[in-house]
Amino acid sequence: MVQRNEIESYLDTLLEVGRFKDYGPNGLQVEGRAELRRIVSGVTASRALIDAAITEGADAIIVHHGLFWRGQDGRLVGWLGERVRRLMAHGINLFAYHLPLDAHPELGNNAQLGMRLGLFADARFGEQGLGFAAPAGENVSLAALAGRVQAVLGDRAPLVLPGDGRALARVGWCTGGAQGYFEAAIDAGVDVFLTGEVSEPQAHLARETGVAFLACGHHATECFGAPALAAHLAVRFALEHRFIEIANPA
Ligand SMILES: [Zn+2]
């Protein structure tokens, strides 16, 4: 058993929370009971995840996407009120780490996805160093890389914008909705960029710069950071931990 406050300060230090400018608060977002024994991790603090955590008897949930984002009006009504009410009624703490969890060099979403793809970053690019870049390895074709992505992400085939068919020397990636990092990736000298989502402009950029682009799923690319972090906590503080996957095609 460990005190909530101890976990909070440990995570804030481990993830260097103070270093990031983010779209929402990182750390403890909803305060539950003071002592933790069993934790659950997941990608998003959705009602489905909260309900699963209640069934698990969890004392805390650790997620990448929390409840509060810039631009909300602050009212706890409707679906948001329902999520908060369920957490509070069951004394469940909600810890959310957004950009700090993308960025962490070992436990973060980018590092964890890269590791599964055989990519080990030797450079970072883009805003707050959130983009990762690595050598592609010997003779990796775009089709082979797309196949590897599909295998790692539960047989989810990425959307492929092929570029000019060049040999892949360097791969850039940034999990989630990082399609806006494509230009920074191109400037950083990669031959292909992987992220979760795609928007209309990236198709033209891929054609005009020759750099390929893979949209691999926002949820799919961000499934690995929260459980890696929670598993680390579980070992360090002798907690029970379970990752709960709530499927999301987006
Ligand atoms: Zn995300």
Question: For 176, how many CA atoms within 13 A lie in the half-sphere containing its CB?
Answer: 19
Note the pLDDT of residue 90.
Answer: 98
Note the pLDDT of residue 157.
Answer: 96
Q: Is 11 exposed, middle or buried (0-12, 13-18, 19+ CB in 10 A)?
A: buried
Give 3-state DSSP helix, strand, coil % of the chain, rounded to 5. Answer: 40, 20, 40
Give tens-digit pLDDT for 202-236. Answer: 999 999 999 999 999 999 999 999 999 999 999 99
Beta bridge partners of 94: 30, 61
101 alpha carbon to ligand 1 midpoint, in Å?
Answer: 10
148 alpha carbon to ligand 1 midpoint, in Å?
Answer: 21
221 alpha carbon to ligand 1 midpoint, in Å?
Answer: 9
Give tens-digit pLDDT for 138-169. Answer: 989 999 999 999 999 999 999 999 999 999 99
Q: Rounded CA gap, 168 and 151, in Å?
A: 19
Note the pLDDT of residue 79.
Answer: 97
176 alpha carbon to ligand 1 midpoint, in Å?
Answer: 4
Query: Which 8-state DSSP code applies to residue 41?
Result: E
94 alpha carbon to ligand 1 midpoint, in Å?
Answer: 17
Backbone angles phi, psi at 241, to 5 degrees: -140, 140
The segments of the chain whose pLDDT lies below 70 read none
249 alpha carbon to ligand 1 midpoint, in Å?
Answer: 13
Beta bridge partners of 133: 123, 172
Note the pLDDT of residue 197.
Answer: 98
1 alpha carbon to ligand 1 midpoint, in Å?
Answer: 30
Note the pLDDT of residue 220.
Answer: 98
Q: Which residues surround ligand 1, an ion (CB under 5 A)?
A: 176, 222
Q: What is the pTM of this model?
A: 0.96
138 alpha carbon to ligand 1 midpoint, in Å?
Answer: 31
Q: At what angle do helices 4-14 and 225-237 cross, to 10 degrees?
A: 130
Of 161, 156, 160, the C-alpha closest to 219 is 156
